[in-house]
Amino acid sequence: MSAAKLTVEVVSPEKLIWSGEATMVSAKTLDGNIGILVDHISLLGVLEPGVVSIKGADGSVEDFNMADGFISVNKNRVSILGEQAK
């Protein structure tokens, strides 16, 4: 039996930037820095400019420099919507 993981999507107005399974997502929101792990409570937040970091299920780390946007967490699904430059 495999361990539960997060399903993560990073989306800009033009396209899907990244999607995959992850074990952790960290981001800077208006309410402060947050870390999202498996089974996190549902959340909708406004991103501040900064780095969104995704630790992939394979141990890799993807960093995205976000200008602004939103983060949504619901039942181990994380959606990150906004302007970004990698």
Q: What is the CATH number of the domain that holds 37?
A: 2.60.15.10
Assigned domain for 1 exists: no
Sign (positive/negative) of CA torsion 55, 58, 59, 64? negative
Alpha-carbon span 73 to 16, nearest angstrom: 17
Residue span of the structural domain in which 41 resides: 6-85
Which among 70, 60, 73 is positioned nearest to 11, based on CA atoms?
70
* Total structural domains within the chain: 1
Q: Which long-range contacts (CB under 8 A, 24 or more apart) does 30-39 make?
A: 34/71, 36/6, 36/71, 36/73, 36/78, 37/6, 38/3, 38/4, 38/5, 38/6, 38/76, 39/4, 39/76
Query: pLDDT tens across 16-51, in order?
Result: 999 999 999 999 999 999 999 999 999 999 999 999
- With H, G, I as helix, E, B as strand and everything else as coil, classify residue 13: coil
pTM of the predicted model, to two decimals? 0.91
Average pLDDT in the chain: 93
